[in-house]
Structure 1
Amino acid sequence: MTAPARPRKLAKVPFVELAGGRLQGVVSSGSDIGRVYVSSVAAGTYAFACSTNNNRPCGGARGAFCNHIRALINEAVLQYGAERVARYLKVETAGGEPSAPAVEAGMSGTRPSPAGTKDAAPVFSRFLRHLAYLELVPSAAPLPEMQWFPPTRTAA
């Protein structure tokens, strides 16, 4: 796990990841506290998808990035750094230091196409699994689902 490039607030975009050839994550709704959107952008093709946690398509993602995808890109840049996000998504940025607007502009210039929402469920499921860790009582005891980590060696 890489340390965040800069601290970020989790209220708007509580979950963001570069995985499966996509930038993907969960974005809170601006109008309904009980609704979240699962948004993603594919590397290379910039095909995008945005739908609610109930698999209803986002009304703003019609032929261009919606505000949820823009927020996802901004938070990914805060989390991973603009250079890493641009490299992962295979975005050519116009000279200088890459930034969130430069990454978005590099993708928008290619007229990204909408993608299906078939990959939303696994992203949302991983987000819920991450939330479950927040409810655990702090403990030094091992977590069974984390046992794939190699054991640490103690000095003799």
Structure 2
Amino acid sequence: MKSLKKRRRIQVITAAMLALVIAAGLIGYGFRDGINLYRSPSQVSEAPPSPDEYFQIGGLVKEGSIVNRDGVAFDFVVTDGATEIPVAYVGRDPRPDLFKEGQGTIAKGHFREGRFEASDLLAKHDESYMPREVVDTLKEAGVYQDPNS
């Protein structure tokens, strides 16, 4: 009788461990593209990511840098006040209405051959808003100006 209880306990523990390993594997698989790290232009230039890494870059759109191309595609430069990174928007959506030169933006995509290929753009949603990550980046670079002052 004891050996049957012992065997059943071992089976239950083994099944629980197997379920835990499968759950951890599924969570890891789900996060493989789901974690988008934010980087400033300075961080990208100091340690360029691999061409396959999908991440977010943010900063200010450099004055005079927006160049329209065919369709909804366009190029611009994002800066944190210390470093500039050229960006090519290759997404399918039109440019956000509040996407302007001198304003904060976050682009999502890949850094390839010295430029960032953005598939998505996030722009502020009103005249006074700027993404927190962009504000932090600009403060670190010493170029942040509070729009309310």
Coarse TM-score class (shorter-chain normalised): under 0.3
- Give the number of the structure whose residues are more often strand, by fraction: 2
TM-score normalized with structure 1 length: 0.24
Give the TM-score normalised by the residue count of structure 2: 0.24
